[in-house]
Amino acid sequence: MKKTLHVAVREFLSTVLTKGFIVGILIAPALIAVLIVVMPRLMREAPPKVTGEVAVVDPTGRVVGGLGEYLRPERIAERREELRRRIDEATPEAVRAVAGTSPQGRAVVEQSLDAALGEVPRIQVVSLDPATDLEEAKAPLKVEAEGGGRGEMGRLALVVVHPDAVVRPQGQGAYGSYDLYVRGKLDDRIEDEIRGGLREALVAARVAASGLDREQVAAVTTVKRVRSVTVTAEGERVTNEVVNILLPAGFMVLLLVSVLTSGQYLLTSTVEEKSNRVVEVLLSAVSPMQLMVGKIVGQMAVGFLILALYAGLGVVAMVSFAVLGLLDASLLFFLLAFYLLAYVTIASLMAAIGAAVNEMREAQTLMTPVMLLIMVPWMLWMPITRDPDSTFSVVTSFIPPISNFVMLLRMTSTSPPPLWQPWLAVLVGAAGAWVALWFAAKVFRIGLLMYGKPPTFATLVRWARMA
């Protein structure tokens, strides 16, 4: 027992204290953090300050005015302000608190807002004679502008409104539309503004032409999107769709990542021991079983560390989004239980493979079936989250080792299975883990001192029978 522990401690430390592990384990959360912080900044960046004109050929004569109004700098600034207010509302309390409490944070936020508002494009809408030659009107678009997408750009776009865009001819179903010609290098956000303006202007013109009131139409067609309330035996709570999808996915990814990472480390370290020829020295001090169990336990600790780090991150995120209440304590328990079972199963196989081969390259062929086992839950993810109670879902959640993943997926879904099912899955998973461990122990003992031709899976099975 004590020897197993010594092996485990060495295994854990020699894995965790490498540069590769520390960098690898820190980089992933850092990347996620960067994505969360930086990406919205990049996306929200206001369109560049552009000065120019949009030429409109409008045979109906009812669209130009609306578009001109929509593209006035003050209106653009207003819409932007409105957007900012909505984003602010949606920002979780915790994030706002962080941004608000630190003076620098507030300064940065305000500065960037001011800058954004100051950068409103100045677009002039020019109406062209409906008889204008199309090619002639396009000509200014071809003139190369100075300043590469910023500043004075001359004609930015040419809009040709269809004659039937506002009033439908008798017996025709659809309204006409418009053609949009833009110059090269026009910022897509400017183009979006123009499209938005045209949509707004066309709808307003059509509504007016039909003798209706715009405000009224808007009111009539608006249905506020509400949150659903999930009703369960325990009570009612507001459904959070994002969490409903993200939670099972998050749990499964967590499980897969930690199992896969620690399993991979176990494989590498076993192959290393064998190819370094340390293994026989070790075997004179510990039995193969002690060595294998020690290594599995050591790498399990590594997996727990990864699990704790990422799950911790997840919990912090959930606290900041104030949705921690959705997380069940029993769910965490089962996460750990299924991690343990899935890990022991996969790790045993990895250890067996590591003991059987002479170098990493040879391990690849034997790894493929194990990798497939790990990939299966990914393929099952969508069908199972969609219909967690289908026969298919229920059956797969009792086939080890994928049962460990699938049952967790079902438990985090909108319709969790009755409690006896997870417990049964734990039992089935434990049986699977035991079989894998038994197989691995046999192969491990024989494989460790076998050098030469890398074995096939059939050979491994023969070894297991032989030992």
Partner 1 sequence: MGDAIVLRGVSKSFGSTVAVRDLDLVVPEGALVGVIGPNGAGKTTTIRMVLSILFPDRGELSVLGHRSALEAKDRIGYLPEERGLYKKMRVGSFLAYMARLKSGDGPDLRRRVRQWLERVGLGEVENKRCEELSKGMQQKVQFVAALLHRPDLLILDEPFSGLDPVNQRLLRDLVSEENRRGATVLFSTHVMVQAEQLCDHVVMIHHGDKVLDETMGGIRSRFDPRTILFEPLDPAADVAPLEAVPGVEAVRRDGQSHEVALTEGSDPAAVIRGLAAAVPAARVEIRRPTLEDVFVSIVTGAPAAASEDGARLREALRDTGGLGAR
Which residues here bind partner 1, judged by CB under 8 A? 2-3, 6-7, 10, 14, 18, 272-273, 276-287, 449
Our CB check for partner 1 shows the closer of 17 and 329 to be 17
CA–CA gap between residue 41 and residue 22 (Å, rounded): 29
Encode 80-108: b = buried (16+ Cβ within 10 Å), e = exposed.
beeeeeeeeeeeeeeeeeeeeeeeeeeee
Partnered with residue 65 across adjacent β-strands are: none
d(CA 28, CA 289): 34
Quote the least distance from Cβ 462 to partner 1, whole Å.
12
Considering beta carbons, is residue 170 or 284 the nearer one to partner 1?
284
Shortest CB 289 distance to partner 1, Å: 10
Smallest separation (angstroms) from partner 1 to the CB of 447: 13
**Count of beta carbons in the 10 Å neighbourhood of residue 139:** 11
| Letter string b/e over residues 272-298, b meaning 16 or more CB atoms within 10 A of that residue's CB | ebbeeeebeebeeebebebbbbbbbbb
State the DSSP H helix or E strand holding residue 349, giving kind and residue range, or none if neither.
helix 329-356
Nearer to partner 1, 410 or 445 (CB): 445
Separation CA 406–CA 392 (nearest Å): 11
CB of 289 or CB of 331, closer to partner 1: 289
What span, in angstroms and rounded, lies between the C-alpha atoms of 161 and 163? 6
Give the closest residue to 70 by CA, choosing from 192, 248, 178. Answer: 192
Sequence-distant (≥ 6) Cβ neighbours of residue 137 within 8 angstroms: 55, 57, 128, 158
Residue type at position 193: E
Contacts of 404 (CB under 8 A, 6+ apart): 255, 338, 339, 341, 342, 345, 425, 429
9 vs 77 by CB, closer to partner 1: 9
C-beta of 286: minimal distance to partner 1 in Å?
6
The answer to whether 448 and 283 are in contact (CB under 8 A) is yes
Tell me how far, at minimum, the Cβ of 29 lies from partner 1, in Å.
26
Cβ proximity to partner 1, 294 vs 377, nearer residue: 294
Pick the closer one to partner 1 by CB: 280 or 387.
280
Output b/e per residue, 7-16; b: 16+ Cβ within 10 A.
Answer: bbeebbeebb
Nearer to partner 1, 205 or 356 (CB): 356
Which residue number, 159 or 448, has a Cβ lying nearer to partner 1?
Answer: 448
Q: How far is CA 110 from CA 118, 386, 451, in A?
A: 12, 43, 68
- Closer to partner 1 at the Cβ: 4 or 403? 4
Q: Phi/psi zone of residue 212: left (φ > 0), alpha (ψ -120 to 50 degrees), beta?
A: beta
Supply the minimum distance, in Å, between the C-beta of residue 5 and partner 1: 10
Q: What would the DSSP string read from start to end of 177-235?
A: -EEEEE-TT--HHHHHHHHHHHHHHHHHHHHHHTT--HHHHHHHH-------EEEETTE
Q: Which tokens sit at 205? A: 């013109």
Please, what is the minimum distance in Å from the beta carbon of residue 408 to partner 1? 35
- Tell the smallest beta-carbon distance from residue 17 to partner 1 (Å): 9
CB 283 to partner 1: min, Å: 5
Q: Of the two residues 6 and 195, which places its CB atom closer to partner 1 in the complex?
A: 6
* Least separation in angstroms between CB 395 and partner 1: 43
Element (H, E) at 82: helix 73-90
